[in-house]
Amino acid sequence: MKRGKFNHRLYLSLLVISSALLAKMVLAQEETNESQAAKVKASKVPKRSSRQSASWYQWLGPQRNGISPETGLFDDTPSFSEIWRVKAGPDFSGISVVDGKAYTMYAKGQSEYTVCLDATTGTEIWATRTGELFANSMGGDGPRVTPTVADERVFSVSAHSVLYALDAETGAIIWSQDLPSKIASARFSEYNWGYRASPLIEEGRVLIESGGKNNHSLAAFNAEDGSLLWTSGSDEMSYSSPIGINFAGQRQAVFLPVKV
């Protein structure tokens, strides 16, 4: 039986505990992780910037585990109330919060946008078109990736597999890379679910899963100018976002492609 097209008329709603709480998101001590997924080793364990240490700047937070290390914020069980609500188009993107600004992605009409909102009021600060609308009756419409904010830039990927670096203050496009054209990777939009792996920023590198064959499964781009630094692996694409860990005295990026 043919499935009907998803009717995504979503409302982007943020329950604000307080702007102070958002600012208190700090970097937790990274635990030993003996994952058998593919590991890409860096030369040394990097230090986090103060901005990264005090914000929810990427998918699932500083450690990409959905956990804030803050404790003792409330004496009693708090009560919450909705502060603002913004009507948004279809999307599956999460929200990253840095310096009182909330960054996300959603669709408007026939286009996808990377968007910056005032985290206190919900006012749209800027919205930059980052590709055509991805529409699929099985996978749903709109972008999937949660933007990553680092070094005054916002890194996002459209559901059609285009990587963008935007100015965090203005939303201006600094550079972009069409992954299938650049590194002969799979075009995720040819599948039901679209591209959905949120980029990981490590030591000035944008680490992504590209899903290409012949040593193009994983890729790293220079965060400054978008130049391709390296590719690795020949595994098929997945929809898993990489994480960064400290293990055996080294900083490592852990990916989970289809074949491990």
- 217 within domain boundaries: yes
d(CA 230, CA 143): 26
How much is the mean pLDDT over the chain?
76
Each residue's pLDDT tens digit, 93-125: 899 999 999 999 999 999 999 999 999 999 999
Hey, is 102 helix, strand or coil? strand
* Number of domains comprising the chain: 1
Structure tokens at 190: 């040819």
Provide the total of helices (H) and of strands (E) in the chain, helices listed first. 3, 17
Is 6 among the domain residues? Answer: no
Q: Judge whether 149 lies within some domain.
A: yes
Query: Is-contact 11 85, C-beta < 8 A?
Result: yes
Question: What is the span of the domain harbouring residue 150?
Answer: 11-28+37-70+83-255
CATH of the domain at 226: 2.40.128.630
Would you state the structure tokens that stand for residue 102, as one six-digit string? 């909330």
- Quote the radius of gyration of the chain (alpha carbons, Å): 18
119-128 LR contacts (CB < 8 Å, sep 24+) = 119/14, 119/16, 119/19, 119/22, 120/16, 120/19, 120/83, 121/84, 122/14, 122/83, 122/84, 122/85, 122/86, 124/86, 125/101, 125/171, 126/170, 126/171, 127/171, 128/164, 128/166, 128/171, 128/172, 128/173
78 in a structural domain: no
pTM of the predicted structure, to 2 decimals: 0.75
157-180 residue pLDDT tens: 998 889 999 999 999 999 999 988
Give pLDDT tens digits along the chain (260 positions): 444 444 443 344 433 333 333 333 333 333 333 333 333 333 333 344 444 545 889 887 777 777 877 778 787 888 888 999 998 887 778 999 999 999 999 999 999 999 999 999 999 999 999 998 887 767 778 788 999 999 999 999 998 889 999 999 999 999 999 988 887 665 554 556 777 889 999 989 999 888 777 787 888 999 999 999 998 887 777 778 888 888 888 888 887 777 64
- Give the sign of the dihedral formed by CA 84, CA 128, CA 135, CA 147: negative
Degrees to nearest 5, angle at CA 176 with 136 and 95: 60
